[in-house]
Amino acid sequence: MSLLVVGLSHRSAPVSVLERAALTVGAQAKLLHDTVAAEPAAEAAVLATCNRIELYADVDKFHAGVAELSTLLALHSGVGLEELTPYLYVHYEDRAVHHLFSVACGLDSMVVGEGQILGQIKDSLARAQELHTAGRLLNDLFQQALRVGKRAHSETGIDRAGQSLVTFGLEQLAGRESVAAWAKGKRALVIGAGSMSSLAAATLARSGVDEVVVANRTLERAERLAAILGDGGTGVTARAVPMDSVAEELTRADVAVSCTGATGLVLTAADVTAALAGRADADGADGGAEHRADAGARDVRAGESVCTDDDCLIAPAPGHMGHPDHSGHPGHPDHAVHTDRSGLATDRPTTPDGCPVGSEVGDETAYEQHAALVGNSPAVGAAAARTSRTAPAALASAARAAALHLLDLAMPRDIDAAAHRLPGVRLVDIESLADASADAPMAADVDAVRTIVSDEVAAFGAAQRAAHITPTVVALRTMAADVVSSEMARLDGRLPALGDKERAEITQTVRRVVDKLLHAPTVRVKQLASEPGGAGYADALRTLFDLDPETVAAVSRADLLSNAGGRLGQHQENDEPKRGRA
**What positions carry a catalytic annotation?**
50
CA distance 309 to 341: 15
Distances (CA, A) of 524 to 28, 72, 537: 43, 42, 10
Has 376 been labeled as part of a binding site?
A: no
Q: For residue 116, say whether it is annotated as part of any ligand binding site.
A: yes
Whether 80 has a binding-site annotation, put simply, is no
CB 68 within 8 A of CB 90: no
192 annotated as a binding-site residue: yes
DSSP sequence for 377-438:
PPPS--PPPPPP----HHHHHHHHHH-EEEEE--SS-SB-GGGGGSTTEEEE-HHHHHHHHT
Known binder of ligand: residue 50?
yes
Q: Is 67 annotated as a binding residue?
A: no
Q: What distance in Å separates the CA atoms of residue 414 and residue 267, rounded to the nearest whole number? A: 6
DSSP 8-state code for residue 245: G
Answer for the pair 409, 166: CB distance below 8 angstroms, yes or no: yes
CB 142 within 8 A of CB 134: yes
CB 51 within 8 A of CB 413: no
Collapse the DSSP code of 340 into the 3-class scheme (helix H, G, I; strand E, B; otherwise coil) and give the result: coil
H-helix or E-strand containing 525? helix 500-529
Of 149, 156, 207, the C-alpha closest to 178 is: 207
Q: Could you tell me if 145 and 561 are in contact, meaning their C-beta atoms sit under 8 angstroms apart? A: no
Q: Which residues contact 513 (CB under 8 A, 6 or more apart)?
A: none
319 is in an annotated binding site: no
Q: Which phi-psi region, left, alpha or beta, contains residue 549 (left: φ > 0; alpha: ψ -120 to 50)?
A: alpha
Backbone angles phi, psi at 169, to 5 degrees: -65, -40
399 is in an annotated binding site: no
113 is in an annotated binding site: no
CA 482 to chain centre: 52
* Cα–chain center distance at 51: 7
Q: Does the annotation list 355 as a binding residue? A: no
Of 173, 165, 133, nearest in space to 33 by CA: 133
Is 304 marked as a binding-site residue? no
How far is C-alpha 428 from the geometric centre of its chain's CA atoms? 18
Q: How many CB atoms lie within 10 A of CB 207?
A: 26
Which residues are 53's β-sheet partners?
A: 8, 48
51 is in an annotated binding site: yes
Is 26 annotated to bind a ligand? Reply is no
Omega into 412 within 30° of 0, i.e. cis?
yes
Strand (E) positions, 299-403? Answer: 335-339, 345-349
User: What is the DSSP pairing of strand 52-59 with strand 41-49?
Assistant: antiparallel
CA distance 455 to 150: 15
Residues that constitute the known binding site for substrate: 49-52, 109, 114-116, 120
From the annotation, which residues make up the binding site for NADP(+)?
Answer: 192-197
Which residues define the annotated binding site? 49-52, 109, 114-116, 120, 192-197
